[in-house]
Structures are given as C-alpha cells and as structure tokens.
Copies of this chain bind each other. A is one copy, B any other.
Amino acid sequence: MAKKPSIPKGTRDFSPAEVAKRNYIIHTIKKHFETYGFQPIETPSFENYDTLMGKYGDEGDRLIFKILNSGDFISKVDDVTYSSKNSATLTPKISEKALRYDLTVPFARYVVMHQNEIDFPFKRYQIQPVWRADRPQKGRFREFYQCDADVVGANSLLQEVEFVQLYDAVFTDLGLEGATIKINNRKILSGIAEIIGAKHLLVDFTVALDKLDKIGEEKVKAEMLQKGISEAAIAKAQPLFDMSGTAAEQLEKLKAILADSEIGMLGVSELEEIIATVDLLGLQSAKLKLDVTLARGLNYYTGAIFEVAAPEGVKMGSIGGGGRYDDLTGIFGLKDVSGVGISFGLDRIYLVMEELGLFPDSLDTSLDVLCLNFGKKEAQAALQLVADLRRNGVRADLYPTDTKVQKQFKYADKRGVPYVILLGEEELNTNAFVVKEMKSGGHKAYAIDAVAKFAKDILN
C-alpha cells in the first residue's frame, strides 16, 4: 500500500488558478521593470557554500538550506571531525553548496564575476525563488519568490526617485491604490547614533528602532538599554520617537537635531532632494512618506531606505522594501560600486489583492472554447476545427471521448469555458458548427470555413 503523499513543511503546490494569479502579478512587475530599462538576469538556485555563509548574520547562516555532497561524502570527513559528532563542524565537510537565501548576494557575486562584460550603470531585475529554513507561518514560506530590481554603478539620487516612481507604477497598474512608500536614510540614523554617542551600537540601535510600530516605544527603549545604549543616549534620541508633520517639517526638525553630524546632515539633504524631485514629477496613486523610525534589518544599506505598506485597512506587513548600499560588491573584492535596489513581496501582494478582490475575472478562463465529442467521425472534423482555432490564437480543446453530452457540458462548466462548440452529424452535413455561449445560453451557427471570423469575434 503506497503511503499518502505530502510535501515538505513550508512549501506549496500552485494550482492553475493560483499560477494564473501569481503570473498576473509577476508579469505586471516585469513589464514595468522593463519600461524602466531594467534587464533580466538569472543565477543558479544553489551557490557555493562560502558565497552565502557569513553574509546574513548568524541567524541567516542557520536558515540557509545546505545541500549534501554527492557520492561517498562521509569517507572524505577526517576522523577527528567525525568523532566529535558536532553538526556545526561537520556541515562544511559534507556540504559544498547551499540554496540561494536572497537575490542580492548572488547579484553582487554576479556583478563581480561578470564585471568585464557589464556596461555600467547596470540596471538588472531578477525574479526567482529563494529558500529559508524559517519556521513557516501565515505569509511566510520556506520557498518563496523575490522580485528585485537594482542599479549598480550609478551614484545619482535620480535612481532613488525612479524607484519611488516604479513602486507607484506597479501598484497603480495592479489596482492596489493608496500604498504608502515609506522612506528614510541610513545616514540620518548614523547621524543620530553619532549625536547620542552610540555610534558603535548603530546596528543594535536601528534593529531596535525598526520595531517601534510592532512593540511600542517602551519596549524599544528597553531593548536599547539591554543592548548597552545608555539612558542618556536614548533620551537624546527622544525626538525620533515623536516625529510628526509633513516631510518638510520633519526634515527641519532633523536638521536641528543633526546640525553637528556631517553624515546626518548629508542624509537630510539627500532625502530633501529625493522628496522634492518626486513631488515635482508627481505620483499616480501611491503616497511617499518620510518615516525616521524606518530602519530595515539588513546591515548593508548606507543611504536611502524604502518600505511599502499596503493600503490602509489591510492588515499586512510590508509588501516591498529596499535601499542604497555603497559597498555591496566589496564582499567579493570589487570596491566602490554603489548600488540601490527595491524588492516586491509577491506572496504578500497576492494576499492583499485577494483580500481586496483586485484580480481580473479574465484570469479564471483558461480555455476559450471546448468542442464536444460526438463520436469518431465527428471528432475527426472537430479536431480539424480545433486545430484551425488554435492557429488563430484561440485556446481550444476537443473533449477526448464521446461520453455523455451532459458530462461534457459539466466539464466545460467546471473549467469556466465561455464557449462550447457543437459539431454533430447535422452540422457535418451542412458544413457548419454551432457555438453555445455558456453564460447567456444563446446559440449561433458559423460556416465551417468561417473559423477566423469566429476567432476574431470571441477574442475581442
């Protein structure tokens, strides 16, 4: 007796209806990536162990899926290592490859490896799955897609402006109106850390501040204290917990706080320029909002940072994020190449669109025409008709057997086919075919040589 099959925890099968919806989002994102001049690349699903390890912190290292070496891998482990029976020391001896954890590190690796073939500035996009051995929960999976666009080799702040426009273009096109693009700048955070005398604790500071929305002011402060940031320093940072007003007003407050920090003031002026240019060009449906508590977890950001919140009223974490990193390729030996990029969270966008009912109805149709099967002779004529329809771009099919007509109609109904063709003996004799429109129940006859006309009728 065969065991009932299952799939690994945190992974998913996608049915035709789900694939259609996912592809709708992916194609929309892709279309805008391309009109914005981004070019696609693809990298392997697994990278060398050393390429990935140590790039995402200890937690990241733990969450990376490692691939077991092939063949008699264990015979290559020395006895000392083996006898210690320790997972951490054994792993690098029996695994040389690991599954991609994100698209950014592989992209940095790609740029360094192919630097002589690339024309900089290089605008690339990449839409591929990544894998993390995280604990699965709602909206968090062990295999999921990332949709990233990055520019490397261009320092101009126009790039940041373009990414804000790009977010706006995609979300507007998806009908997801009212998304909020939150923006901040790591230099402002560095400046604040400098001012409060906790420069060496910037990472701890930003990681804690990032949680303000989720855990509230008191708990963020408690975490900062616990990480070794002094009470006096936290008090100096108090204005950050109380920011409000327009972007211009907030920037003025920041200028007052950061007057003595060169890097902080640089961050303020960068943000001023980005926000002013976006204002000048206008956005279609998204809002741009300065949020000085926005920190983002990843350590490689050095300039502007972004995070996108779903339209108000929808409970969902961020549906996109990104920022500028001045030295990403440095980890692979290529210095001074600045980059900036954003990511779209496919799975969360999917859930938000589902909740708001934003997927077009046309996605439900996977077949335009089903031709019924009335027996061998009729089926041969129907096959010819179906072949003609397909050559005219119609998604058409012949029911494979001459089972009961009722059963064939039921199949058409379940698949949501809008048109059913009847080509029985009578039609054969009169060189015609009859089309039944499933929704209205209406019939219409076409001459057998009018396939192109019928195709045109239903595709419009």
Partner-B contacts on A (CB < 8 A): 1-8, 11-16, 19-20, 23, 32, 34-37, 39-48, 50-51, 62-63, 65-68, 70-75, 82, 85-87, 90-91, 94-97, 99, 109-110, 112-114, 117, 119, 121, 123-124, 129, 131, 133, 143, 151, 154-156, 158-159, 161, 165, 169, 277, 280-281, 330-333, 366-367, 379-380, 383-384, 387, 390-391, 393-398, 400-401, 411, 414-415
A2: nearest residue on chain B (CB-CB)? B333
The 8 closest A-B pairs by CB, nearest first: A37-B397, A11-B44, A16-B39, A2-B333, A154-B400, A14-B42, A70-B133, A156-B400
Q: Is the CB of B87 within 8 A of A367?
A: no
Contact of A42 among B19, B99, B366 (CB under 8 A): B19
Q: Is the CB of B94 within 8 A of A68?
A: yes
Q: Is the CB of B6 within 8 A of A367?
A: no
CB distance from A81 to the nearest CB of B (A): 11
Contact of A113 among B13, B50, B62 (CB under 8 A): B13
**Bound Cα distance from A44 to B277, whole angstroms:** 43
Q: Is the CB of A12 within 8 A of B397?
A: no
**Bound Cα distance from A91 to B74, whole angstroms:** 9
Q: Is the CB of B67 within 8 A of A68?
A: yes
- 21 A-B Cβ contacts within 8 A? A7-B113, A8-B47, A8-B48, A15-B114, A15-B117, A23-B40, A32-B390, A35-B393, A44-B143, A65-B67, A65-B68, A67-B99, A74-B85, A74-B87, A74-B90, A156-B400, A158-B400, A161-B383, A165-B387, A169-B391, A277-B380
**Bound Cα distance from A44 to B8, whole angstroms:** 8
A168: nearest residue on chain B (CB-CB)? B387
A131 surroundings in chain B (CB, below 8 A) = 45
Listed residue (A7, A34, A63, A155) with the most chain B CB atoms within 10 angstroms of its CB: A7
Q: Is the CB of A112 within 8 A of B277?
A: no
A4 surroundings in chain B (CB, below 8 A) = 332-333
A118: nearest residue on chain B (CB-CB)? B15
Q: Is the CB of B5 within 8 A of A112?
A: yes
CB distance from A438 to the nearest CB of B (A): 15
Given contacts A40-B20, A397-B123, contact A113 B387 (CB under 8 A): no
